[in-house]
Amino acid sequence: MATLTDMINEVSMNLSGYTLQQDRATHITADVAATASTIAAPITLSLASTDSVGKGVIEIDEELFWVDNYDRVGNTATIAPYGRAYLGTTLAAHTAGTKVTIAPTFPRFTIKRAINDTISAIGSSIFAANTTTITSNAAVAAFRLPTTGTTLNISKILSIAYQTLGASKEWTPIRSYRFDGNANSTAFTSGQTLSIYDYIPSGRTIQVVYSTNPTSFSTNADIFTDTTGLPESCKDLVILGATYRLLSNLDPARASMVSPQADETDSKRPYGSSQSLNKQVYALFNQRLNEEIKNQQDKYPIRVHYSL
């Protein structure tokens, strides 16, 4: 099962292949504490090499630093007072031997953000499917959802069935019901109710299959299917979505270059050249999105039911 770390690595590999970009790197030779760099006590990084280090941004794990000055002899880099947790990244401790990426083209925290943005965006087209159960009661018509303390955030009911009496253990579909996602919160604490109008014997288990919005990642160890609620087949869809989002930033990054070296580069790869590639990746993303929509429509067909 793919974790967020696996997906970040895959997006990073895709972007490196598309751009032919090989970021320069070294590693730290001493631990770095999770403390801010100040004027009175600046943070100094011990590096294996400073050959490619200059003033600017470096990345350790998922934290960005701003290097204020460096020492080629002592192989150290001094971090500016504003240089820890640069550009909104998270201040963290780092252990000796960790990779240091110099001026990363696509920082890992931006890849993570692009992955989560893609998951949120595709929620308008495809859904995460889940199930819950309630117990029938002949004296109750409106059942509170969920039966546990956490809110399910149900978007739509996909199907309902109850387990019949007897040895057959058959699950009989329920045809007459109404879902209310804005129920009175005083009477129903979750604000979501399911009213069932078919006759069901008391004490029977009712299984509710519902759709909800995919959930974004929160930690790098989160597993894709468990966290988002999407099937494993959607993993490459999210990776393509994150890739096209990040590729769109390549041309703006070159727009302000004014130097002989930049002019030489632009003659081979003119400004706007990445947009054709971006369109290709976006087309692949849309193709996979339509395939997943069709898969969900086949798996969860529209079921006719009566609602009062």
pLDDT in tens, 195-223: 999 989 999 999 999 999 999 999 999 99
Q: Give the predicted TM-score (pTM) of the model.
A: 0.86
Give the model's confidence band at 82: pLDDT under 50 very low, under 70 low, under 90 confident, else very high: very high
Please state the rounded mean pLDDT for residues 248-261.
58
pLDDT per position as a tens digit, 268-307: 556 566 677 788 999 999 999 999 999 999 999 988 877 7
Beta bridge partners of 195: 142, 178
Confidence check: pLDDT of 262 > 70: no
CA 87/CA 65 separation, integer angstroms: 9
